[in-house]
Amino acid sequence: VSLPASGADAPNNLPHIVTDHGRHALSVDGKPFLLLGAQVNNSSNWPAMLDQVWPAIAEIQANTVMVPMAWEQVEPVEGKFDFSFLDILVNQARQHQVRLVLLWFGTWKNNGPSYTPSWVKLDNRRFPRVQTRDGKLLDSLSPLAPATLEADRTAFVQFMTHLRQIDGTQHTVIMVQVENESGTYGTDRDYSAAANAQFVEQVPADLLKATGKHAGTWTQVFGRDAAEYFHAWSVAHFIGEVAAAGKAVYPLPMYANAALRDPLHPPPPGSYSTGGPTDNVMFIWKVAAPALDLLGPDIYHRDYAYYTTVLDHYSRPDNPLIVAETGNDQAYARYIFAALGKQGLGFAPFGIDYTGYENWPLGAHKTDADSLEPFAMNNRLLRPMGELIAALSYAGKVWGVSEPEHTHQQTLDLGAWRATVSYGMSQFGSGTPAPGNTPPQGGVLIAEIGKDEYLVTGYHARVDFSSVNAQQHFLLDRVEEGTYDSQGQWHFMRLWNGDETDYGLNFTSVPQILHVKLATY
Ligand code: N0T
């Protein structure tokens, strides 16, 4: 399968994102790429740590490793740049045959400037911090300070320039995250004098146009939301400028990740990373930061309603879904199937290395082969057919679901056919209501590969097909089990029949891929 090669914005067929009919694909070397990611811990971005990274990557079988590039590390002294870690990392990634996504930890790392050099984070006059309504100084840097933007952008451009020099033909690095969980905790906007002056100005024309609103100040146009929207505009504009300057030297796909706002019970601004790309301000980010290819959620809630609502919010015709970070214990692993069902281009558990840091309660108590196994199962299953799945997803032919906690059956509408997914069933027998798995761990992926023919796979789930035409009798004409080799070539192993198909297609913890031909009589 190949995608439209380089456009004007993708010279030398650089990695890029293509969009058609509101669907998306990440093109790497001209082919659709399914990003099976693994993000290392925050302080694993040093040469001495890499020996504790690679064994975990090998265990989890990711095809893409996500690693911080810290401003303090590349420009410890203003104007003096050191990219030795980048050189080492790219070399080792090539040896380990994985791609990289690099995470620019600059002005924002979880709202604060902890990863900026000392000459930035200690100089409040040159690089002012956000102030609250009552004049309290917060850790977060003001997005409105021209000197901060200038300094961050300069360092980022140096980084992208060096990256182009060492990787411009090989494309080991396929994407760059610009800043990390931007926004500010503790206020709905910056109330510094400079910010107050801008807040009473007119809302930018581009934003008015995109929203169909009439001209006015932020308060006139957006009322109660004015403060948050203003801050979002300011943060997004800053990050968009950094991204655009980086793309001008080396146009890799770029994205921003979001520390989420609870999508089910949204709390007031100030209590989450306000101004960052939360679901309610994505429309602002789209206008203010057009250089960003996507906004990706960091999902650290295990429950189904929360998780799938976030997937919905971030999967849009104008926003390709990549789960930029997610927790690294068992409960999260099954959501790769729901993410693929929402046309996800990628999925990346966080905290994948053996440096000994554990971010419980967000993720696992202990990262080891056992805790990584559910993710390794996903990657072993999906990696050989990643290109096929990404291509079919781009064509709108992929369905995927994950197991909820409280309902044990789901129905998928495939057009002429219906698939019923049940959890917790034995492989033999039917008639009992699905009890669910304990803990929830099921997931199913279905892709249309031909007329009345589907690729079906998953874990810990039963799939029953039926015809939407109730007048006809349904049958499984042929159920082929096989494997995809590393070239994505299908190899027939056997036919499933008898017990293996009498009570639906039952997936266990064994990685099994079926090609199923559906028919009626
Ligand atoms: C994430 C990671 C790292 C109960 C946390 C999540 C990463 C950053 N932040 O280990 O710090 O760099 O992007 C914050 C999640 C808070 C939600 C708490 C819900």
pLDDT value at position 2? 56
Q: Are 65 and 52 in contact (CB under 8 A)?
A: no
pLDDT value at position 8? 44
Ligand 1 nearest-atom number relative to CA 109: 12
Tell me which residue has its CA closest to atom 12 in ligand 1.
42
User: Is 40 near ligand 1, meaning CB less than 6 Å away?
Assistant: no
* Domain locations along the chain: 11-396, 401-520
Ligand 1 mean position, distance from CA 181 (Å): 8
Ligand 1 mean position, distance from CA 327 (Å): 9
Nearest to 285 by CA among 143, 160, 155: 143
Q: CA 359 to CA 58: how far, in whole Å?
A: 21
Residue type, 53: V
**3-state secondary structure at position 277:** coil
Q: Are 340 and 400 in contact (CB under 8 A)?
A: yes
pLDDT value at position 55? 98
User: Is 362 near ligand 1, meaning CB less than 6 Å away?
Assistant: yes
Nearest to 332 by CA among 402, 237, 242, 233: 402
User: Is 256 near ligand 1, meaning CB less than 6 Å away?
Assistant: no
**Parallel/antiparallel/unpaired status of strands 409-413 and 461-467:** unpaired
Give the E-state strand segments of 120-236 in sequence order. 129-131, 137-141, 173-180
Ligand 1 mean position, distance from CA 326 (Å): 9
Quote the DSSP letter at residue 134. T
The residues pairing with 16 across neighbouring beta strands, listed in sequence order, are 27
Ligand 1 mean position, distance from CA 33 (Å): 26
Ligand 1 mean position, distance from CA 497 (Å): 47
Tell me which residue has its CA closest to atom 5 in ligand 1.
359
Q: Are 458 and 443 in contact (CB under 8 A)?
A: yes
User: Is 41 near ligand 1, meaning CB less than 6 Å away?
Assistant: no
Ligand 1 mean position, distance from CA 259 (Å): 7
Class for domain 401-520, per CATH? Answer: mainly beta
Ligand 1 mean position, distance from CA 339 (Å): 19
Q: Are 111 and 183 in contact (CB under 8 A)?
A: yes
Nearest to 164 by CA among 234, 239, 249: 249
pLDDT value at position 11? 53
Q: Which of 43, 181, 264 to mutate to test the pocket of ligand 1 (most atoms within 8 A of CB)?
A: 181
CA dihedral 355, 360, 364, 365 (to 10 degrees): 80
Q: Are 143 and 241 in contact (CB under 8 A)?
A: no
Cis bond leading into 439, ω under 30°? yes
User: Is 179 near ligand 1, meaning CB less than 6 Å away?
Assistant: no
Q: Are 57 and 51 in contact (CB under 8 A)?
A: no
Ligand 1 mean position, distance from CA 110 (Å): 7
Tell me which residue has its CA closest to atom 6 in ligand 1.
259
**3-state secondary structure at position 55:** helix
Tokens of 287: 């206008």
* Element of type H or E holding 161: helix 146-167
ipTM score here? 0.97
Q: CA 253 to CA 17: how far, in whole Å?
A: 7
Going residue by residue through the chain (521 aa), what tens digit of pLDDT does each one get?
556 554 444 556 999 999 999 999 999 999 999 999 999 999 999 999 999 999 999 999 999 999 999 999 999 999 999 999 999 999 999 999 999 999 999 999 999 999 999 999 999 999 999 999 999 999 999 999 999 999 999 999 999 999 999 999 999 999 999 999 999 999 999 999 999 999 999 999 999 999 999 999 999 999 999 999 999 999 999 999 999 999 999 999 999 999 999 999 999 999 999 999 999 999 999 999 999 999 999 999 999 999 999 999 999 999 999 999 999 999 999 999 999 999 999 999 999 999 999 999 999 999 999 999 999 999 999 999 999 999 999 999 999 999 999 999 999 999 999 999 999 999 999 878 999 999 999 999 999 999 999 999 999 999 999 999 988 999 999 999 999 998 889 999 999 999 999 999 999 999 999 999 999 99
Cis bond leading into 146, ω under 30°? no
Residue with tokens 């199962």: 377
> Please, is 370 exposed, middle or buried when counting C-beta atoms within 10 Å of its C-beta (0-12, 13-18, 19+)?
exposed
Ligand 1 mean position, distance from CA 56 (Å): 20
User: Is 44 near ligand 1, meaning CB less than 6 Å away?
Assistant: no
Give the E-state strand segments of 276-377 in sequence order. 294-299, 322-326, 346-349
Ligand 1 mean position, distance from CA 162 (Å): 29
User: Is 359 near ligand 1, meaning CB less than 6 Å away?
Assistant: yes
User: Is 103 near ligand 1, meaning CB less than 6 Å away?
Assistant: no
Tokens of 474: 């349904």
**Parallel/antiparallel/unpaired status of strands 490-495 and 474-484:** antiparallel
Class for domain 11-396, per CATH? Answer: alpha beta
Q: Are 422 and 430 in contact (CB under 8 A)?
A: no
Q: Which of 67, 177, 298 to mutate to test the pocket of ligand 1 (most atoms within 8 A of CB)?
A: 298
